[in-house]
Amino acid sequence: MLWQDGELALREITEDDVDLMARWLTDPAVLGYYEGRDRPHNADLVREVFFNAHVGDETRCIILAAQAPIGYLQFYRVTGDEVGEYGYPLDAALYGLDLFIGEPDYWNRGIGTRLLTGILPYLHEHQGAERVIVDPQMWNSRAIRSYEKAGFRKVRALPQHELHEGELRDAWLMEWHV
């Protein structure tokens, strides 16, 4: 296990998770929040996006609740031009984080908030993160509330930041810091 707190845990993703990820990323309910319903990921696309050699330095994880896989989380050091684009000094110990709960039965149960509350200290203590950023789309009030409950604050608007279902959507830059 990469991280564990009670019944919640993170383990690194493996090739054995391709079908699981494809199931989640072809579910229209999940895609409405992550990637978009116009971008379903079959097993081949999951392999390309999450396992191909061109994949960056992200640490990709499966979220477990009572040992059952329920979602996906990735974290990564934000580097290069992206650091400056977000308005941080180039030497910032800045990390990014993305996640989704792939099992809708686990939505609205506080799991995202509990997971974030536990993983943020881990990122500080084990990865050296001083700040962690997320960029939820402005319409995604459930994610924004979860991030705020975990200690994130809105930093600024990111106009037309992410292509979602054929439309450039506005997002919030949100930050947690030590």
124-141 pLDDT per residue, tens: 999 999 999 999 999 999
How far is residue 78's CA from residue 96's CA, in Å, rounded to a whole number? 6
First to last CA, the chain: 24
How far is residue 138's CA from residue 147's CA, in Å, rounded to a whole number? 12
Q: How far is CA 29 from CA 21, 37, 45, in A?
A: 14, 8, 19
Closest residue by Cα to residue 116 from 29, 5, 42, 20: 5
Phi, psi (degrees; rounded to nearest 5) at 118: -85, -40
* Mean pLDDT, residues 97-115: 96
| pLDDT score of 177 more than 70 | yes
* Mean pLDDT, residues 75-81: 93
| pLDDT score of 101 more than 70 | yes
What was the pLDDT predicted at 161?
92
- Those residues with Cβ within 8 angstroms of residue 66's Cβ, 6 or more apart along the chain or in another chain: 7
DSSP-assigned beta bridge partners for residue 101:
71
* Domains, the chain: 3-133 (3.40.630.30)
What was the pLDDT predicted at 52?
84
pTM check: above 0.85? yes
Token digits for 38?
């116009």
